[in-house]
Amino acid sequence: MVNDMSFTGLSPADRKKMCDTIGISSIDELFRDIPSQLHMSNIDGFPGPLSEIEIERLALGVESEIRQFIKTFLGAGAYNHYVPPVVDEISSRSEFYTSYTPYQPEVSQGTLAAIFEFQTMMSRLCGMDLTNASMYDGATSMAEAAMMAVRTNGLNKVLISRGVHPNYRKVLDTYAWAAGFEVEEIPLDNGVTDINKFREYFTSDISAVIVQNPNFFGLIEDLELFAEVISESSVVLIAVVAEAMSLGMLRGPGEVGADVVCGEIQSFGNPLNFGGPYAGYISTKKEFMRRIPGRLVGQTLDSDGNRVYTLTLQTREQHIRREKATSNICTNEGLIALRTAVYLSLIGVKLKELAELNHKAACYLHGRLRESGIETVHQNMPFFNEFIIKPSNCESVKSEFTKHGINPGLDISKLYPEYEGCILICATEMITKDDADEYVRIIGGCR
């Protein structure tokens, strides 16, 4: 019997007793159905075993190989917002994080109620009738939203704005290729989706059009213009919100004509975590209720007549419908949805003020940079908390800022060759006036 680090709970005497009860002399006998040539007894060069003390020491060593910035102006789909301690405290309750999908609602009201709250809060922010219980992330929620549109109207082509996050567009390409529908890009005009080009591309084979708001450059898109073009047709207008914080300040996409809202909720109380876990969602109108992918929590009664919650409309789902399901999605991002519900409960009505603080910080920085002679691209276009600048020497900017322990933002030259030498800057509530002033000072020294 081995005595390495493990979380098993049997003593040697227990094992012996259990083997005797089963009627075997060795545990090996239980593996008799596995052909003998498949059995292995070692892996060369495998790590461990390590005690808890040793693994913590090892992990801290690896963690120290990460450069932490004092300040960051990097956004681009993942945002450095403040995470209130309440959110961490609640999501570390092991009743929440060590449970699974709430298949047994009688012992899962905690998870179910929190997700129902999440569905409600997201629906309100998006201006929609309903929201699913979360999905993997922003990009896959958008791909699934497009698939839902194709499934619904049976048309085979999806238009997507070039202002949508490049990674999201790549994920859509992958999903569309696999599912067998076509994707065409709508170009930009002065940083926002070209509405005239959209009118041109708007033919009878279009299933959906996807616009991100605020778009990848932080600019506000006028969704109503798209809704007007689509008007009474069956084309589905999908609004993607990669920066959820913007929902605190901008009208819900559902109020301005979107049929489906999808996106990323990392900004609502979830750390950056090098890209995950985050969570996506689809928020939409009643008419899509039976076509939406992912879990849904609904209200009902228990046998005492009390109001309770449960997973519902499961006949859409893979475990019942198998190949006819609305999606293969099974597990979602329950704990991230919980964190979001806690965050939105705590910040609550102050979300607007918080979102405005983001906008003020970004606006101030934008104005100061412009005053100091730095080229700010897309003059006079409204933005939320991100915008683009074109410094004279983009390369030296990165090294100069790094010296000061500051991440200056994202060089978008590779993602958008037409924006050669441009940097996408984000200012959240974590940026103070002094930080913004320092940014202007440092960039002034980059020549």
Instruction: List binders of another protein among 81-110 (CB under 8 A).
Output: 86, 88-90, 92-110
Instruction: List binders of another protein among 161-200 (CB under 8 A).
Output: 165, 167-168, 170-171, 173-175, 177-180
Q: What is the residue type of 271?
A: P
Q: Is 152 in the site for another protein (CB under 8 A)?
A: no
Instruction: List binders of another protein among 122-141 (CB under 8 A).
Output: 123-125, 129-131, 133-134, 136-140
3-class SS of residue 239 = strand
Instruction: List binders of another protein among 232-261 (CB under 8 A).
Output: 247-252
**In the complex with another protein, which residue's Cβ is closer, 204 or 304?**
304
Give the number of other Cβ atoms within 10 Å of residue 415's Cβ.
Answer: 15
Q: Is 18 in the site for another protein (CB under 8 A)?
A: yes
**In the complex with another protein, which residue's Cβ is closer, 33 or 204?**
33
CB of 201 to another protein, least distance (A): 23
Q: Is the dihedral of CA 103, 105, 107, 108 positive or negative?
A: positive
Among 71, 119, 198, 244, binds another protein (CB under 8 A): 119
Instruction: List binders of another protein among 272-311 (CB under 8 A).
Output: 272-279, 289, 295-304, 306-311
Q: Which helix (H) or strand (E) holds 366?
A: helix 351-371
**In the complex with another protein, which residue's Cβ is closer, 201 or 364?**
364
Q: Is 218 in the site for another protein (CB under 8 A)?
A: no
3-class SS of residue 159 = strand
Among 12, 25, 60, 417, binds another protein (CB under 8 A): 60
Instruction: List binders of another protein among 310-339 (CB under 8 A).
Output: 310-315, 317-325, 327-336, 338
**In the complex with another protein, which residue's Cβ is closer, 198 or 288?**
288
437 DSSP 8-state letter: H
What whole-number distance in Å separates Cα of residue 277 and Cα of residue 339?
Answer: 12
What whole-number distance in Å separates Cα of residue 7 and Cα of residue 82?
Answer: 35
CB of 290 to another protein, least distance (A): 9
Of residues 175, 176, 179, 257, the one with CA closest to residue 222: 257
Q: What are phi and psi of 345, to 5 degrees?
A: -75, -40
CB of 226 to another protein, least distance (A): 14
Give the interface segment with another protein, choosing from 37-45, 154-162, 388-396, 439-447 (CB under 8 A): 37-45
Q: What are phi and psi of 223, to 5 degrees?
A: -65, -30
What whole-number distance in Å separates Cα of residue 162 and Cα of residue 158?
Answer: 13
Give the interface segment with another protein, choosing from 77-85, 201-209, 227-235, 389-397 (CB under 8 A): 77-85
250 Rama sector, left if φ>0, alpha if ψ -120 to 50, beta otherwise: beta
Among 12, 25, 34, 232, binds another protein (CB under 8 A): 34
3-class SS of residue 223 = helix
Number of residues that bind another protein (CB under 8 A): 206
Q: What are phi and psi of 411, to 5 degrees?
A: -75, 115
What whole-number distance in Å separates Cα of residue 439 and Cα of residue 432?
Answer: 11
10 DSSP 8-state letter: -
Q: Is 399 in the site for another protein (CB under 8 A)?
A: no
**In the complex with another protein, which residue's Cβ is closer, 153 or 314?**
314
Among 14, 287, 395, 420, binds another protein (CB under 8 A): 14
Q: Is the dihedral of CA 394, 264, 98, 12 positive or negative?
A: negative
3-class SS of residue 209 = strand
What whole-number distance in Å separates Cα of residue 178 and Cα of residue 172?
Answer: 10
**In the complex with another protein, which residue's Cβ is closer, 138 or 391?**
138
Among 76, 237, 240, 262, binds another protein (CB under 8 A): 76
Among 184, 190, 352, 393, binds another protein (CB under 8 A): 352
Among 12, 348, 417, 445, binds another protein (CB under 8 A): 348
User: Cβ neighbours of residue 3 under 8 Å, at least 6 residues apart?
Assistant: none
59 Rama sector, left if φ>0, alpha if ψ -120 to 50, beta otherwise: alpha
Instruction: List binders of another protein among 354-383 (CB under 8 A).
Output: 354, 356-357, 359-361, 363-364, 367, 380, 382-383
**In the complex with another protein, which residue's Cβ is closer, 9 or 204?**
9
Q: Is 48 in the site for another protein (CB under 8 A)?
A: yes
